[in-house]
Amino acid sequence: MKGLNGKKPFSFYLSVCLLSILILLIEGSLLALFFGGAVMPDLLLVMVICLAFIQGEQKGMVLGLLAGLLQDLFFGPAIGFFGLAKMVTAYLVGLASREIYKDQLIGLMVIVFIATFVHEFIILFLGLLFWGGTGSFFYLLDILFLEKTVYHLLLAVPVYLLLHRAERHGFFYIFPK
């Protein structure tokens, strides 16, 4: 079965899963060593945001769910925790990408800022809903959100340019037509 432009969607999703596993291995080893116990960037979220921005809401939602479920398997407190957060975030990014010119990087930066906030808010809400807690929203906003946002804004442009170029050259479609 072929998707749009004669490309196989299975090949795209398989490539994204392999890339997600590689990113999760980097996050769990190199970034954990480099950042220690401090707040570290979510490279997987940056990848999901960039690909949802390129691909649109339908593919973005599926790849957000796949990447989130893989993150749940590696690091998650429960299956579906990160999957739901990344799926919703990717869907909203894909919807917003309809209205933003994809070659204009300032639009991407605004999307990354908003998407990081949405993702972290969903994670916070799910954590409070299922496990309770007494964390101050403004404290978490100041400590977690602002630091992660700075990291994500710095990483978004090179990741986006790399993924956009890979998409144009057919990197994600590893099986021949």
Residue 118 vs residues 25, 83, 121: alpha-carbon distances, Å: 24, 14, 5
**What does the pLDDT look like over 36-86, one tens digit per residue?**
777 889 999 999 999 999 999 999 999 999 999 999 999 888 898 999 999
Q: What is the mean pLDDT of residues 105-116?
A: 94
User: Where in the chain are the domains?
Assistant: 7-168
Give this prediction's pTM.
0.89
**Percent of the chain topping pLDDT 90:** 51
Q: What is the mean pLDDT of residues 131-155?
A: 80
Whole-number average pLDDT of the chain: 87
Question: Fold for domain 7-168?
Answer: Arp2/3 complex 21 kDa subunit ARPC3 (1.10.1760)
Alpha-carbon span 44 to 34, nearest angstrom = 17
